[in-house]
Each structure stands twice: as structure tokens, then as C-alpha cells.
Amino acid sequence: MSKYYLSYLEELESEAIFVLREVWAQFQNPVILFSGGKDSIVVTHLAKKAFYPAKIPFSLMHVDTGHNFSETIQFRDNLVAELGANLIVGSVQEAINDGRVAEEKGKNATRNELQITTLLDAIEDNKVDCAIGGGRRDEEKARAKERFFSHRDEFGQWDPKNQRPELWNIFNGSHFQGEHFRVFPISNWTEMDVWNYIAKENIKIPSLYFAHEREVVWKNDSWIPNSEFLILDENDKIEVKKIRFRTLGDITITGGIESDADTVDKIALEVAAMRKTERGNRTDDKRSESSMEDRKRQGYF
């Protein structure tokens, strides 16, 4: 009798699918936090496989900052239509208009932290008790110490010193009313794993990940895309470079890298040779050493 064998990628896939099914078994109204980036796309693909031939049982929740790449929004809408999924959109601009948050001022102003209030409002308004994210432990040191099932208190806050033990594949989603969980099915994946899986499964991704020519400005040690939202200094010089993006966020904080990688296979080879972290070109992570953890404690993704 032949032995049953799973490849490394198949083991990761199996683990993620198990986590997604646990979410559906333990929670009343879970959603997938969908950013339009590769990680949330992979999580959505895994959810599709986990419940096939049924439709994905989760709604997709997107926090629209108003400063998104247009390509990201177009991809999101196309995918939602293809899946026949329910889309919940939280608007940062509406939160600003309603006085819930205040727009940052200055040349390095972003809407990144403003997403926290909008996200927590959307979770409360829609009575969400579990938000599934695409965070991975290899991305950043704050995410490295977060559990698969990450508890949030009634204020949406995360306490890294008060996390529940996770023994083997036993997950505890018990919570009081008003609290919720963030769950990260691909916690154990690396950036390389994600790209190898995208290649294996032939998953569609936004064109922003592939090398293309774009107007950019060198700011904060990164090539930041020129846009109507970018505040330029008199010394800033707009150039045209062939770049791609390793991670997607707001257009004002997402730095590109010079690249000729225009296929998934070329991207995987490029990632294998990288010596800089995936989020190394995100200016929102450069505000302080503990920038990500500070935001996560307040309720960030």
C-alpha cells in the first residue's frame, strides 16, 4: 500500500483550510478582511477550496481609505462579482466627514491609522465576531508573536501579553459579547510560500505586482508612486521608473522596487534573492520601531 504524501505547500494549504473550517464552526458572523493584496487573495482562494462546491460562506470586508490604488479597487470588484460574494465596505472618507477621525496634516500625512476606527466601526455595525486576515508571521515582528486565533477585547484592542495557548490544532474562540477574534490562516506561510502557491494554483493577482512603468518620487528611501494625494517638496523630483510592488497599501505609503519581473515565476526568483523584508518599502512601518505593534494594540489589521 502506497503512503499518503503531502508536499510542503499542500501541508500549509491543509493547515489553512482546517483553520478556516474551525472559524465557520466556532463563530456566528465571520468575514474575510480583503485588501486586494496577494495575502487576502490567497486566503479567499483557500476559503473557496475549503467549502467547495458550496459558495464561500464569508462576506468580504474592505476598508476603503480613499487613497487606494485604482487597480486594487477594480480587482476587488471583479473578484467579488466572480465569486458572487457579499462585499462590506467601510469608508475612511465617510468617517472623516462625520468627524469620527481627523485627517493627518503635513508632508508625511497618511490615512493608515485612520483605518482603525473605520474597521472597528464596520465590525461593530455588522455584528462581526471574527475577522479573517492574511497576516503572516514572517512579515513583521509584531505579527510574528500573534496567535492563529487572536483575541480582541470589547474595544477591539489586542494584548500581546494575554494571548491564549494554542496546543496542536486546538483553537479556543470563546468570547464575551462585544469582543471578537482576528484569525490568520496563513500565519506559518512565508512570502516565498505565497508566491509558489499563487503559481501552483494559477491565482489571479493585481497588475501592480508585476513590473510596469510608473511615475514615482524618491521619498523615505522608497519609490513612492506619484498621485493626486502625494504632497511634494520643492526638491522632490518626479521620475519614470520600471517598478513593481511587493506589498499593497495606500498609494501614498506603498513603495515600489525597481524590477523587470513581469511573471509570477520571475517574481519568485526575485524574492528568493531578496535581502530586504517585504514591508521594508512601507513608510507607515518606519514611523517607529514599534509602529506595527502600537497600531495592532489599537485594533489595526
288, pLDDT greater than 60: no
Sorting pLDDT into bands at 50, 70 and 90, what band is 183? very high
Considering Cα of 128, then 134, then 136, then 139, what sign does the dihedral take?
negative
Among the ranges 6-15, 100-109, 154-163, 275-284, which has the highest mean pLDDT value?
A: 6-15
- For the chain, the domains span 8-194+290-298, 203-286
- For strand 30-33 and strand 130-132, is the pairing parallel, antiparallel, or unpaired? parallel
Considering Cα of 233, then 219, then 244, then 119, what sign does the dihedral take?
negative
pLDDT, average across residues 94-112: 85
Give exposure, 57-90, as e/b (b: 16+ Cβ within 10 Å): ebbbbbbbbebbbebbeebbeebbeebebeebeb
pLDDT at 33: 96
Sorting pLDDT into bands at 50, 70 and 90, what band is 144? confident
Reported in sequence order, the residue ranges of the chain that DSSP labels E, i.e. its strands, are: 30-33, 59-64, 87-91, 130-132, 149-152, 180-183, 212-219, 222-225, 238-244, 257-258
Q: How far, in Å, CA of 206 to CA of 38, rounded?
A: 8
pTM of the model as a whole: 0.91
- For strand 87-91 and strand 59-64, is the pairing parallel, antiparallel, or unpaired? parallel
CB-CB contact of 107 with 100 (8 Å): no
pLDDT at 258: 93
Over residues 6-34, the pLDDT tens digits come to 899 999 999 999 999 999 999 999 999 99
Hey, what CATH class is 8-194+290-298 in?
Answer: alpha beta
Could you tell me how many residues make up the chain?
A: 301
pLDDT at 232: 84
Assigned C-alpha cell, 229:
494625494
Cα angle, residue 246 at apex, residues 59 and 113 outer, rounded to 5°: 60
pLDDT at 281: 58
Sorting pLDDT into bands at 50, 70 and 90, what band is 201? very high
Q: How far, in Å, CA of 226 to CA of 22, rounded?
A: 43
Choice between 267 and 106, residue whose per-residue pLDDT is larger:
267
Sorting pLDDT into bands at 50, 70 and 90, what band is 275? confident
pLDDT, average across residues 65-83: 95
pLDDT, average across residues 178-190: 95
What percentage of the chain has pLDDT greater than the value 70?
92
Whose cell is 490615512? That residue is: 111
pLDDT, average across residues 226-249: 89
109, pLDDT greater than 80: no
Helix (H) or strand (E) holding 147: none
pLDDT, average across residues 167-196: 94
